[in-house]
Amino acid sequence: MVTDVQVRKLMDEMSKHGRKGVAAARAGMHRNTARRYLESGKLPSELKEPRSWRTREDPFAEDWPAIEERLAAVPELEAKALFEDVLRRRPDRYREGQLRTFQRRVKQWRAEHGPPKEIFLPQQHRPGEALQTDFTAGSALGVRIGGAPFAHLLCQSVLPYSNWQSVVVSRSESLLALRCGIQEAVFRLGRVPEWHQTDNSTAATHELATGKRGFNGEYLELMAHLGMKPRTIGIGASHQNGDVEALNGALKRRLEQHLLLRGSREFETVEACQAWIDGVVEQANAPRAARVAEELALMRRLSASRLPRYRELWTRVTSNGTIQVLKNTYSVPPRLSGEQVVVRCFDLHLEVLYAGKRQLVVERLSGEGKNRIDYRHVIWSLVRKPWGFARYRYRECLFPGAVFHQAYEALVAALPERRAELEYLRVLHLAAATMQHDVEAALELLLGEHRVPTLDAVRSLVSQHQPAIADMAPLTVDLSGYDELLVAEAGR
């Protein structure tokens, strides 16, 4: 088919030299076709007349009146479900390959006779009016911390007028995570807008004690402390948080591209990952500087102090050497058994303090009813009371890696059950007393050679790899160089 571009080229060539054959060739069409367009003086789009007839028979004509009645009665019926019903009732007339044709007919009917659709009204954002905050899942980015997959969320705060953004890595959509995200944003800006806007997440708008909607007391206290007014979107109306919702997708696409450029998704710590995200976001904010300046000029100066990034809880260590924190169980060093400790609950980790001194830092669990038991905290007691191993409530936590599980199974297969349990606990005790990595390597070697991984066998391999301490001569401090410098300076 000849296009408007080709005919314009034809006309242009004719105006240059007037040779019809040359002009047709350069325009990529036949000489006869060129003559027809030159005589009419019109473009192909101007010669095309709207068609008011069907090019083939409507396959649904016989049943369409009944289909229309069902669509009018139940507009929410989907075309595929309706077609499957028609196909079931009339298998002799219709076939599965007609689904797309049927869907187009239903789509046309909805556009001509269907119920009105909701339209979204574009808004004009006022500079410095509001800060929007929302959470988005970040696990799909495939980031790994210390070699392990990192399940996390991204708490993003956005100024809708300039699209300035601030991002904080978080573990869950908790009020603590929301507080950290909002504070990070306003302290980076140094100013606060009139409003803070969020969705109806449990962090800000659920009264968890009663189940009623409304702003949580702690969230209202945060807003009062920072000098902002709280507001929320309508229930089920996520489009009202449109700017931050749209930037959630843009943020993850940007992070994905920078991860590809980086060539690795591995980070040593969560802090290193957060620092990298800060760099990416800072780069994204740079072109928005002019509009950000407009917003800052209209916002109030931040006068509040930064609230702690944690909540403090008091709890007593049980005789099991564990503590209960927010409905999850954690082990602590056994020397703290029976003592009262302070737990600082950060969004990503917990800190256990006794007498004002930090005793333990452990990754925080998300959800409820879970446990994080460090075998190093209980192995000393289990070695003294090995028969408690078989029915220990947290027995699975005593296998710090797959190779330890394989070693235990090999011991059970080769030795009597009680002897196998005792040997395994002694191997685990060796891992706690030395280096787990060295014991793990020894177990892999023994299992690879189909040898029973007893304590003596593991210990002999571990002792062979003990690093030698180098002989170092005592350090002799020579201060004569300073005298030479002073003499030279005096001479100048």
Residues found in the chain: 492
pLDDT at 474: 78
Q: What average pLDDT does this structure show over 209-227?
A: 78
Cα–Cα dist 465/462, whole Å: 5
Same domain, 175 and 221: yes
Residue at 478 is within a domain: no
Nearest to 161 by CA among 252, 247, 230, 98: 247
Q: What average pLDDT does this structure show over 403-426?
A: 93
Tell me the one-letter amino acid at 417: E
Cα–Cα dist 2/30, whole Å: 10
Same domain, 410 and 269: no
pLDDT of 57 above 90: no
Same domain, 279 and 172: yes
Report yes or no: 327 and 333 within 8 Å, Cβ to Cβ: no
Same domain, 143 and 281: yes
pLDDT at 422: 93
Query: Would you place residue 207 in the very low, low, confident or very high pLDDT band (cuts 50, 70, 90)?
Result: low
Query: How much is the mean pLDDT over the chain?
Result: 87
pLDDT of 241 above 80: no
Tell me the one-letter amino acid at 427: V
pLDDT at 367: 81
Q: What average pLDDT does this structure show over 220-225?
A: 91
Residue at 123 is within a domain: no
| Stretch among 28-42, 47-61, 269-283, 297-311 having the lowest mean pLDDT | 47-61
Detail the DSSP E strand segments found in 240-321.
266-267, 300-301, 311-316
Cα–Cα dist 481/492, whole Å: 17
The tens digit of pLDDT for each residue in 439-470 reads 999 999 999 999 999 999 999 998 765 555 66
Query: Would you place residue 39 in the very low, low, confident or very high pLDDT band (cuts 50, 70, 90)?
Result: confident
Tell me the one-letter amino acid at 233: I
pLDDT at 206: 60
Token reading at 288: 């928005």
Place of tokens 């260590």: 317
The tens digit of pLDDT for each residue in 260-287 reads 999 999 999 999 999 999 999 999 999 9
Same domain, 149 and 275: yes
Cα–Cα dist 411/408, whole Å: 5
Strand order of the sheet with strand 229-232? 164-170, 153-159, 130-137, 195-198, 229-232
CATH number, domain of 231, equals 3.30.420.10
How far is it between the farthest Cα atoms of the chain? 114
* Domain that residue 390 falls in: 375-464
Cα–Cα dist 96/327, whole Å: 53
The tens digit of pLDDT for each residue in 157-170 reads 999 999 999 999 99
Q: What average pLDDT does this structure show over 190-196?
A: 93
pLDDT of 37 above 80: yes
pLDDT at 239: 47
Nearest 10 degrees: Cα torsion 403, 269, 347, 201 = -90
Sign of CA dihedral 255, 258, 262, 263: positive
Query: Would you place residue 244 in the very low, low, confident or very high pLDDT band (cuts 50, 70, 90)?
Result: confident
Residue at 492 is within a domain: no
Nearest to 35 by CA among 48, 19, 15, 17: 19
Task: Kindly tell me the burial class for residue 43, based on how many C-beta atoms sit within 10 Å of its own C-beta (0-12, 13-18, 19 or more).
Answer: middle
pLDDT of 200 above 70: no
Residue at 381 is within a domain: yes
Out of 241, 266, 301, a domain closes at 301
Same domain, 280 and 203: yes
pLDDT of 243 above 90: no
Nearest to 96 by CA among 107, 106, 86: 86
Query: Over pLDDT 90: what percentage of the chain?
Result: 56
Beta-ladder partners of 207: 212
The domain total for the chain is: 5
Residue at 306 is within a domain: no
Residue at 121 is within a domain: no
Same domain, 158 and 241: yes
Place of tokens 């050679």: 449
Q: What average pLDDT does this structure show over 226-247?
A: 70
Residue at 485 is within a domain: no
pLDDT at 294: 94
Cα–Cα dist 267/141, whole Å: 13
pLDDT at 55: 62
Nearest to 462 by CA among 433, 441, 432: 441
Same domain, 201 and 221: yes
Token reading at 8: 């314009």
The tens digit of pLDDT for each residue in 334-382 reads 999 999 999 999 988 999 999 999 999 999 988 889 999 999 999 999 9
Query: Would you place residue 54 in the very low, low, confident or very high pLDDT band (cuts 50, 70, 90)?
Result: low
Residue at 254 is within a domain: yes
Cα–Cα dist 241/424, whole Å: 56
CATH number, domain of 320, equals 2.40.50
Of the two residues 86 and 46, the one the predictor is more confident about is: 86
pLDDT at 411: 94
pLDDT of 96 above 70: yes
pLDDT at 46: 82
pLDDT at 237: 47
pLDDT of 314 above 90: yes
pLDDT of 233 above 80: no
Same domain, 363 and 387: no
Tell me the one-letter amino acid at 403: V
Same domain, 104 and 21: no
Phi, psi of 332 (to 5 degrees): -130, 165
Same domain, 181 and 253: yes
Of the two residues 121 and 27, the one the predictor is more confident about is: 27
pLDDT at 361: 93
Same domain, 156 and 222: yes
Cα–Cα dist 298/263, whole Å: 41
